[in-house]
Structure 1
Amino acid sequence: MKNKLLKNKYIYFSRDISLKSGTAHEIHDVLCANAVANIGYSSILVYPDKKQNNFHPLGLLNPFNPKEPDQNFIEFYDVQKKLKVAPLPMSWPIDRIGGKFTNSSTVITKYYLPIHIQHHTKLIHTRDWNFVKAAIKNRIPVIYERHYFQEKSFETDIVNSPFFQIAITQSELIRQSLIEYGMPPEKVVWLNNGFEQSFLNREAENAEEWRQELLINDRKHLVVYSGALYPFKGVDVLIDAAKELPHIQFAITGGTEEQIQAYQQLCRAKNIANVKLLGWILPRQRLVSLFQAADVLAHPHRSGKAANFTNPVKFFQYMASGTPLVVTEIPPLMVFKDSPLVAGWCEADNPLKLAECIQDVLNKYPRKIEGYAASRDFAHQFSWEKRAAKILSYVDESFRPQIEN
Structure 2
Amino acid sequence: MKNSALQKHYIFFIGEELPQPEAHLVQSTNAANGAANLGYSTVLVYLEKGAKAINPANLARPFQPRETPTELIKYYNLHDKLKVAPLPMPWPIDHFRSKFTDSNTIASKYYLPFHILPTTKLVHSRNWNFVKAAIKNGVPAIYEHHHHEDKPFEPEIVKNPLLQIAVTVIDTIRESMIKNGMPPEKVITMHNGFNRLFMERQPEKATEWRQKLLQDESQKLVVYAGALQQFKGIDVLIDVAQEMPNVEFACAGGKPKDIEYYQQLVKEKQVHNIKFLGYILHNDLASLLQAADVLAHPHCSGKAATFTSPLKLFDYFASGTPIVATKIPSLVEFQNTQAFTGGVGEAIAAWCEPDNPSKFAECLKRVLETHPRKIEGYPDSINFVKQFSWENRAAKILSYVDKSLLPQVVL
Q: Under TM normalisation by the shorter chain, which class is it? A: over 0.9
Query: Residue in 2 aligned with 1:105?
Result: 104
Aligned to 1:233: 232
Question: How many equivalent residue pairs?
Answer: 402
Tell me which residue corresponds to 1:394. Answer: 400
Alignment map for 1:79-228 (pairs within 5 Å):
79-97=78-96, 99-216=98-215, 220-228=219-227
Amino acid at match of 2:18: S
Instruction: Say if 2:342 is the partner of 1:344.
Output: no
Corresponding letter in the other structure for 1:297: L
Q: Is the 8 A contact 1:235 1:300 kept in 2?
A: yes
CA distance in 1, matches of 2:134, 2:3: 19
What secondary structure does 2:100 align onto? helix
After superposition, give the CA deviation of every residue in 1:268-295 in whole Å (9 maximum; x if it has no partner). Answer: 111111111111223x211111111111
> How far is the alpha carbon of 1:8 from its aligned partner?
2.1
In structure 2, runs of 5+ residues without a counterpart are 338-345
Q: Distance in 2 between matches of 1:91 and 1:322?
A: 45
- Of 362, 373, 382, which residue of structure 2 is paired with 1:367? 373
Aligned to 1:300: 298
TM-score of the two chains, using structure 1 as the length reference: 0.95
Structure 2 residue matching 1:224: 3-state secondary structure: strand
AA partner of residue 392 (structure 1): L
Alpha carbons 1:53, 1:92 under 8 Å: kept: no
Segments ≥4 residues shifted beyond 4 Å = 2-5, 52-58
Secondary structure of 1:79's counterpart equals coil
Letter in 2 for 1:16: E
Q: Is the 8 A contact 1:154 1:182 kept in 2?
A: yes
**Shift of residue 346 of structure 1?**
0.4
C-alpha change, 1:220 and 1:55, in structure 2 (3 Å) is closer
The one-letter code sitting in structure 2 at the alignment partner of 1:6 is L
Kindly report the root-mean-square deviation, in angstroms, between the aligned alpha carbons of the 2 structures. Answer: 1.8
1:12 counterpart letter in structure 2: F
Partner Cα separation in structure 1 for residue 210 and residue 377 of structure 2: 15
Quote the sequence identity (%): 53
Deviation at 1:64, TM superposition (A): 0.3
What are the superposed Cα offsets for residues 200-256 of structure 1, whole Å, 9 maximum, x if unpaired? 101111111211221116752110001110111101101101111111111111111
**Letter of the aligned partner of 1:147 in structure 2?**
H
- Say which SS state the counterpart of residue 369 (structure 2) adopts: helix
Question: Which residue of 324, 327, 335 maps to 1:326?
Answer: 324
* Structure 2 CA distance for partners of 1:237 and 1:111, relative to 1, 3 Å: same
Alpha-carbon distance in 2 for matches of 1:40, 1:375: 28
Q: Report the AA paired with residue 13 of structure 1.
A: F
> Are 2:53 and 1:47 equivalent residues in the alignment?
no
Stretches of structure 1 that go unaligned for 5 or more consecutive residues are: none
Q: How far is 1:137 from its partner?
A: 0.5
Alignment of 1:12 onto 2:20: no
Task: Please name the residue that 1:379 is paired with.
Answer: 385
Inter-CA distance 4–44: structure 2 relative to 1 (3 Å threshold): closer
Distance 1:373 1:77 in 2: 25
